[in-house]
Amino acid sequence: MKLVTMAVTAALALGLTGAQAEPVKVGLITTLSGGGAGLGIDVRDGFMLAVKQAGNEDLEVVIEDDQRKPDIAVQLADKMVQSEKVDVLTGIIWSNLAMAVVPSVTAQGKFYLSPNAGPSALAGKGCHPNYFNVAWQNDNLHEAAGAYANFAGHKKSFILAPNYPAGKDALTGYKRFYEGGLAGEIYTKLGQTDYAAELAQIRASDADSVFFFLPGGMGISFLKQYKDSGIDLPVVGPAFSFDQGILQAVGDAALGVKNTSQWNKDLDNPTNKAFVESFQAEYGRLPSLYASQGFDTANLLLSAMAKADVNDADAFREALEAGEFASTRGNFKFGPNHHPIQDIYVREVVKEGDVYTNKIIGTALSSHADAYWADCNM
Amino acid sequence: MSLILLIEQVLNGLQFGIMLFLMAAGLTLIFGVMGLINLAHGSLYMIGAFCAAAVAGATGSFLLALIASLAGAAIAGALVELVVIRRLYDKDHLDQVLATFALILIFSEGTRWVFGSFPLFLDVPDFLSGPITLPGGIEYPLYRLTLIVVGLLVALGLYLLISRTRLGVQIRAGENDREMIAALGIDIAKLYTIVFALGAALAGLAGALVGAIQSVQVGMGEPVLILAFVVIVIGGIGSIKGALIGAILVGLTDTLGGIFLPEVMKLFFDPSTATSIGSSLASMAIYVLMAAVLILRPSGLFGARA
């Protein structure tokens, strides 16, 4: 299979950055083809937008497509470490791929900055000094959904998620904060597209609300079928099934649904406003939360490059830990296990003109850290 | 578990099976008549869904969208047969697999090039949306019920086509002895193109029908393709009747397995372990079914060839 390699060197050297002599080579492995491509493309576009805006000639990015397959991701990571000699890896969307790649590249002394996947195994006992998650620990948005369900007065939730690491983190996270009882708990197949059987179980149960985590195309299918089934229970979920990339394909079925996210396009800070505007100007579409995560990851990296030489691993790590960059989320801070401590908001799906999008209606959890940091010794 | 829920799940399994049949019928026909393994069948399913989504988006008519899916997939199928597949009949199966796998990649990237990477919108038409109440108080989505009826009508149509028409006679003859029908003066090349386009049209129709309740996106065909292969292996390669029975068996096993295995496991484990083990077992259920059928009948339920 022919892999597309793209080396991008920024064109404009404006001399504004505190030019470091040592160039940094970044390997961005993400999903650019197949079912989950929308997510990877958003991360890549957000990342490259920040790189372009910085105009730092010392940053070189190599982009490869993992096709959402763990074995290919591992091959690409090996190639990047051994023959491309990259200093930093990033880009992986899916937790099962991250579990296959991250422990091995950090063990080889490379830095890994996760723009998305945050499996619990890498946040607690499996944490590593060279592993940073710029997005969230997997459980976080689900914990916020659980907190919101309490606030909304849900007493009997029916919960479902796909049977893979992030799916288990999702239901665990929801249950950690949700105080009511469960009407049912289902693990679906990863990549499942037909939810008739699950919907029949929801209908037959005495649930008063539904929580689901089904990222990408799975969420589109579920929501369309949910609407068509005539079940009329309130739905709560993490932002992954309501992001900008898929809302247009879901249509009216998503209107009014509450979902939780660490980011939204209407967050009121100058970095975010500039990001949303420049992303639209560059790519002709609204950014999703994945794009914001890619953008923040690149800016974190650039902030560390301005302070330290990547060959001095300890200094570079310290510069990353400081997390001193202008985040689209406003203030940004790492916890002791290199995962963010951040506010998580509740959003509602609305229609602006012809475009389906989200607006923030409240804060679910403030300065929220993950549940695993105490297990992390590094 | 109430009786109503059970009946509803059986209907779900039936609907899933019948959509699989539309895919498997084309696949088994092409394999039976031409001896060709067509991995790109899933791409034709995707093309059907994309054609339907594009036409529905432009005109707002679901019926026009269905016609577009049939026509689009049939044209794509005929073109592929004329340009690529035709050169593969004399080659062995490995060459066919390689060439049609390449077609999957070409179709996927081509679709991405034309339509972009983000899923398209295709919705159930208003007159078919929402649930209806069946006798016995079962609430069931009207659209899924329509899918069952449409699928059965297509199955009936295929049966009549194969058993009652001149084209059907040629197809059956082609399955048995292709040299002989060529010697009898039948244009075998044209017959192959027609059969391939027919199989493609069925896949395209399935893509459009299912696309309305699922996500229309690049790569949507491959998971269905794998199931369709399981179906034709169970049903017996080349047999339309086998494809129908096999598809319904697979649909019911997959749906009912997903419901009952976690329940059964709850008798032995605590609920969360049971859910996890049950779901894992359920995803294996159809392959266990396939293995069991192959042990008892190595050429499938209705397979003529050994």
Nearest to A185 among B117, B119, B275 (CB): B275
With vertex at residue A38, the alpha carbon angle to CA A36 and CA A41, rounded to the nearest 5 degrees, is 115
What's the burial of B175, exposed, middle or buried (CB within 10 Å: 0-12/13-18/19+)?
buried
Please indicate, yes or no, if residue B227 is contained in any of the structural domains: no
Read off the tokens for A72.
Answer: 């290919």
Q: Are residues A284 and A206 in the same domain?
A: no
Per residue in A307-326, pLDDT tens?
999 999 999 999 999 999 99
Please indicate, yes or no, if residue A304 is contained in any of the structural domains: yes
Please indicate, yes or no, if residue B276 is contained in any of the structural domains: no
**pTM, whole model, 2 decimals?**
0.82
Least confident of A138-142, B15-19, B138-142: B138-142
- Say yes or no: B277 contacts chain A, CB-CB below 8 A: no
Pairwise CA distance, residues A288 & A280, whole Å: 11
Please indicate, yes or no, if residue A58 is contained in any of the structural domains: yes
Nearest to B15 among A163, A193, A196 (CB): A196
Question: Which amino acid type is present at position B22?
Answer: L
Counted across chains A and B, CB pairs separated by less than 8 A come out at 134
**Cβ pair A197:B275 closer than 8 A:** no
Q: Which residues contact A258 (CB under 8 A, 6 or more apart)?
A: A148, A152, A234, A235, A236, A346, A347, A348, A361
CB contacts, 8 Å: B129 with chain A: 227-228
Mutate which of B214, B220, B259, B263 to disrupt the A interface (most A C-beta within 10 Å)?
A: B214
DSSP 8-class letter at A184: E
pLDDT at position A1: 35
- Say yes or no: B48 contacts chain A, CB-CB below 8 A: no
Strands A156-162 and A342-352: unpaired
- Say yes or no: A162 contacts chain B, CB-CB below 8 A: no
Q: Are residues A128 and A160 in the same domain?
A: no
Q: Which residues contact B286 (CB under 8 A, 6 or more apart)?
A: B227, B230, B250, B253, B254, B257
Q: Are residues A110 and A174 in the same domain?
A: no
**Cβ pair A204:B144 closer than 8 A:** no
Three-state DSSP state, A62: strand
How many angstroms away from the CA of B238 is the closest CA of chain A? 27
Q: Are residues A219 and A358 in the same domain?
A: yes
Query: Which of B171, B169, B164, B165 lies closest to B190, judged by CA?
Result: B171
CB contacts, 8 Å: B8 with chain A: 200, 203-204
Taking phi over 0 as left and psi of -120 to 50 as alpha, with beta for the rest, A49 belongs to alpha
The residue range of the domain holding B94 is: 11-218
Give the total residue count for chain B. Answer: 306
Please indicate, yes or no, if residue A1 is contained in any of the structural domains: no
How many angstroms away from the CA of B168 is the closest CA of chain A? 34
For residues A8-37, average pLDDT: 65
Please indicate, yes or no, if residue B112 is contained in any of the structural domains: yes
Flag whether pLDDT at A3 surpasses 50: no
Q: Are residues A216 and A350 in the same domain?
A: yes
For residues A82-101, average pLDDT: 94
Q: Are residues A369 and A230 in the same domain?
A: yes
Nearest to A248 among B121, B212, B214 (CB): B121
Query: Which of A149, A204, A197, A138 lies closest to A171, judged by CA?
Result: A138
Query: Which of A222, A263, A227, A226 lies closest to A241, judged by CA?
Result: A222
Regarding predicted confidence, which is higher, A318 or B283?
A318
For residues A103-117, average pLDDT: 95
Question: Which amino acid type is present at position A101?
Answer: V
Please indicate, yes or no, if residue A85 is contained in any of the structural domains: yes
How many angstroms away from the CA of A199 is the closest CA of chain B? 10
Pairwise CA distance, residues B191 & B266, whole Å: 54
Domain count, chain A: 2
Query: Which of A210, A219, A267 lies closest to A239, judged by CA?
Result: A219
Nearest to B117 among A38, A186, A251 (CB): A38
- Say yes or no: A249 contacts chain B, CB-CB below 8 A: yes
Per residue in B126-136, pLDDT tens?
889 888 888 87
Flag whether pLDDT at B46 surpasses 50: yes
Per residue in A321-338, pLDDT tens?
999 999 999 888 999 999
Is residue A115 within 8 A of residue A43, CB to CB? The reply is: yes
Read off the tokens for B159.
Answer: 């049966």
Strands A235-238 and A209-212: parallel
**Cβ pair B215:A186 closer than 8 A:** no
Strands A59-65 and A6-9: antiparallel
pLDDT band at B171 (very low <50, low <70, confident <90, very high): confident
Q: Are residues A99 and A174 in the same domain?
A: no
Three-state DSSP state, B61: coil
Read off the tokens for B73.
Answer: 């997939």
Q: Are residues A235 and A309 in the same domain?
A: no
Nearest to B118 among A38, A188, A189 (CB): A38
How many angstroms away from the CA of B195 is the closest CA of chain A? 29
The CATH number for A289's domain is 3.40.50.2300
With vertex at residue A334, the alpha carbon angle to CA A119 and CA A129, rounded to the nearest 5 degrees, is 65
Q: Are residues A154 and A130 in the same domain?
A: no
Q: Are residues A179 and A201 in the same domain?
A: yes
Per residue in B209-219, pLDDT tens?
999 998 898 88
Strands (E), A38-155: 59-65, 88-90, 111-114, 131-133
Nearest to B141 among A189, A228, A246 (CB): A228
Q: Are residues A85 and A226 in the same domain?
A: no
Please indicate, yes or no, if residue B53 is contained in any of the structural domains: yes
Flag whether pLDDT at A152 surpasses 60: yes
Mutate which of A160, A206, A221, A356 to disrupt the B interface (most B C-beta within 10 Å)?
A: A221
Per residue in A176-208, pLDDT tens?
999 999 999 888 888 888 898 899 899 989 999
Is residue A32 within 8 A of residue A40, CB to CB? The reply is: yes
pLDDT at position B180: 84
Q: Which residue has the tokens 């390689």?
A: B98
Is residue A67 within 8 A of residue A316, CB to CB? The reply is: no
- Say yes or no: B279 contacts chain A, CB-CB below 8 A: yes
Q: Are residues A211 and A351 in the same domain?
A: yes
Is residue B237 within 8 A of residue B303, CB to CB? The reply is: yes
Q: Which residues contact B274 (CB under 8 A, 6 or more apart)?
A: B262, B265, B266, B268
CB contacts, 8 Å: A172 with chain B: none
Please indicate, yes or no, if residue B29 is contained in any of the structural domains: yes
Please indicate, yes or no, if residue B145 is contained in any of the structural domains: yes
CB contacts, 8 Å: A250 with chain B: 121
Read off the tokens for A176.
Answer: 């950690």
How many C-beta neighbours within 10 Å does residue B113 have? 10
Please indicate, yes or no, if residue B294 is contained in any of the structural domains: no
pLDDT at position A10: 37
pLDDT band at B174 (very low <50, low <70, confident <90, very high): confident
For B253, name the nearest residue in chain A, comparing CA atoms only: A197
Pairwise CA distance, residues B166 & A326, whole Å: 73
Query: Which of A224, A283, A216, A218 lies closest to A253, judged by CA?
Result: A224
Domain count, chain B: 1
**Cβ pair A230:B2 closer than 8 A:** no
Please indicate, yes or no, if residue A186 is contained in any of the structural domains: yes
How many C-beta neighbours within 10 Å does residue A268 have? 8
**Cβ pair A33:B109 closer than 8 A:** yes
Flag whether pLDDT at B198 surpasses 60: yes
Regarding predicted confidence, which is higher, B223 or A27?
A27
DSSP state letters, A283-302: HSS---HHHHHHHHHHHHHH
Q: How far is CA A88 from CA A27, A53, A100, A325, B4, in A?
A: 6, 20, 16, 18, 56
Please indicate, yes or no, if residue B16 is contained in any of the structural domains: yes
The residue range of the domain holding A237 is: 140-261+343-375
- Say yes or no: A4 contacts chain B, CB-CB below 8 A: no
Per residue in A221-260, pLDDT tens?
999 999 888 899 999 999 998 988 889 888 888 999 999 9
Nearest to B117 among A41, A228, A250 (CB): A41
CB contacts, 8 Å: B262 with chain A: 186
